[in-house]
Amino acid sequence: MIKVIKTNLYIFLLGVLLMSLASARAWAQIAKAHLKIDSTNLLIGQQTKAYLSLEVPQGTKVQWPSMADTLFKVLEIIHKGKVDTLTANGLTTFTQELTFTSFDTGYLPIPPLRFMYQVPGDTGVHPAETEPVLLQVRLMDVDTTSPIRDIKGIQKVGYSWREFLPWFFVILLLAIIAWLIVRYIQFRKGKRDYFLIKPKPKLPAWQVALEALEDLRQKKLWQMGQTKAYYSALTDIYRDYLKDQFGINAPEMVSQEIIEALRSQRFEQLLIEESRRMLETADLVKFARFEPLPDENSFALDFCRRFVEMTMPTPEIQENETLNAKADKTHPNA
């Protein structure tokens, strides 16, 4: 009886062992771990690349092997790339690129690297390991039959343009600073009209006024019922011309003060009276909502144009003003 029990126990244990081996083989077939190395024969200090990968069913949770900067005490990991993922045909492949070297010589074994994974629908965590790899690290071959050579002296290395580039920018910066200083001194002494940017030449007051009057005429404001805007723009042009051409501060004066200023500067009586007529009409329009006749609107613009043309400097006067301006710039302290 005892023999029968022992025999059954042995059979049961053998069955459990076979089932364990079969299960392990089945799980091993589900997950495939690989470690591929570019070269297993290295010189001491030579770097090589390795590719660590794991292929598992899609959706599997994976725990990657933990690796420090030194692998198995003899291999130094120079670079660890990120883990790339590729899914195809229901399988997911995880791949990581490693770069390592060794400064120990001899045959260096790389033991299996272990992954842990959990397949969807299974509560168990299973291992997957890479195959062990044997590296040979050797010293550089030395020809003992050749004579010992002396140490070479210091070699002269040529210069590259990158070494001169910083000096070029320094010299360029110093040249720009020196140029700016010279320009500023010339500007301060009056030898230059401007420091850096040449200002645009200022148009004469009569030209500015005539161009503005022509622009106002083309807008046809009073023809579109915008009489107030028309007279406001017209009197602004007229006042600015008096200020820029004759120094009369007309923009800050009321209409009666402008008439008094024209009298004090002895303008022709006809121009003074027509100025009064235009200014009074403008005041009525702007402050009393007066609506002038079309002829009165046309007269106001025609008068302003005629006023500018009759009071603008003659070519001889303009030439003298230009010469005087140049003389003042040449002798600023005279």
Q: Are 133 and 52 within one domain? A: yes
Closest CA to 67 of 78, 59, 58, 77: 77
Tell me which of 173-177, 196-200, 203-207 is least confident.
196-200
How is 120-137 classified by DSSP, letter by letter? TT----EEEEPPPEEEEE
Please check whether residues 218 and 107 belong to one and the same domain: no
Q: What is the structure's pLDDT at 174?
A: 92
Structure confidence at residue 252 (pLDDT): 92
Same domain, 316 and 228: yes
Query: Does 209 share its domain with 318?
Result: yes
Same domain assignment for residues 324 and 209? yes
Residue 67 domain-assigned?
Answer: yes
pLDDT higher than threshold 70 for residue 169: yes
Looking at residue 217, its amino acid is: R
Q: Measured between alpha carbons, how far is residue 145 from residues 55, 140, 141, 151 in Å?
A: 52, 15, 12, 18
Instruction: Specify whether 128 is located in the same domain as 218.
Output: no
Residue located via tokens 């030579």: 46
pLDDT level of residue 7 (50, 70, 90 thresholds): low
The total domain count for the chain is: 2
Query: Which stretches of the chain are assigned E, i.e. beta strand?
Result: 32-37, 41-43, 48-57, 61-63, 70-71, 75-80, 84-88, 91-101, 106-110, 114-118, 126-129, 133-138
Q: What is the pLDDT of residue 233?
A: 94
pLDDT of res. 260:
92
pLDDT in tens, 54-107: 999 988 999 988 877 776 677 888 888 899 999 998 899 999 999 988 888 888
In this prediction, residue 199 has a pLDDT band, given cuts at 50, 70 and 90, of: low
Answer whether residue 168 is part of any domain. no
Q: In which band, very low, low, confident or very high, does the pLDDT at 333 lie, cut at 50, 70 and 90?
A: very low
Answer whether residue 24 is part of any domain: no
* Between residues 159 and 174, the one the model is more confident about: 174
**134 and 221, same domain (yes or no):** no
pLDDT given for residue 329 in this prediction: 47
Residue 330 pLDDT class (50, 70, 90 cuts): very low
Q: Does one domain contain both 133 and 211?
A: no
pLDDT tens digits for 283-318?
998 898 889 999 999 999 999 999 999 988 876 555
Q: Which of 89, 107, 138 is where one domain is finished?
A: 138
CATH code at position 66 = 2.60.40.10
User: CB of 117 within 8 A of CB of 56?
Assistant: yes
Q: Are residues 326 and 209 in the same domain?
A: yes
Residue 101 belongs to some domain of the structure: yes
Final residue of a domain: which of 90, 120, 138? 138
> Is there a domain that residue 198 lies in?
no
Q: Is residue 156 part of a domain?
A: no
Q: What is the mean pLDDT of the chain?
A: 82
> For the residues 273-285, what does the mean pLDDT come to?
91
pLDDT digits (tens, 9 = 90+) for 211-264: 999 999 999 998 999 999 999 999 999 999 999 999 999 999 999 999 999 999
Tokens 């500007």 belong to: 187
Of 93, 112, 138, the last residue of a domain is: 138
Could you read off the pLDDT of 11-47 as tens digits, one per residue?
A: 555 554 444 444 444 444 578 899 999 988 989 889 9
Buried b (16+ CB within 10 A) or exposed e, 10-28: eeeeeeeeeeeeeeeeebe
Q: Can you give the residue range of the structural domain that contains 116?
A: 29-138
Do 221 and 323 lie in one domain? The reply is yes
Which tens digits make up the pLDDT trace of 108-138? 888 898 999 998 888 888 899 999 988 899 9
* Residue 184 within any structural domain of the chain: no
Integer Cα distance of 128 and 112 in angstroms: 9
pLDDT of residue 21: 42
Q: Is residue 61 a part of any domain in this protein?
A: yes
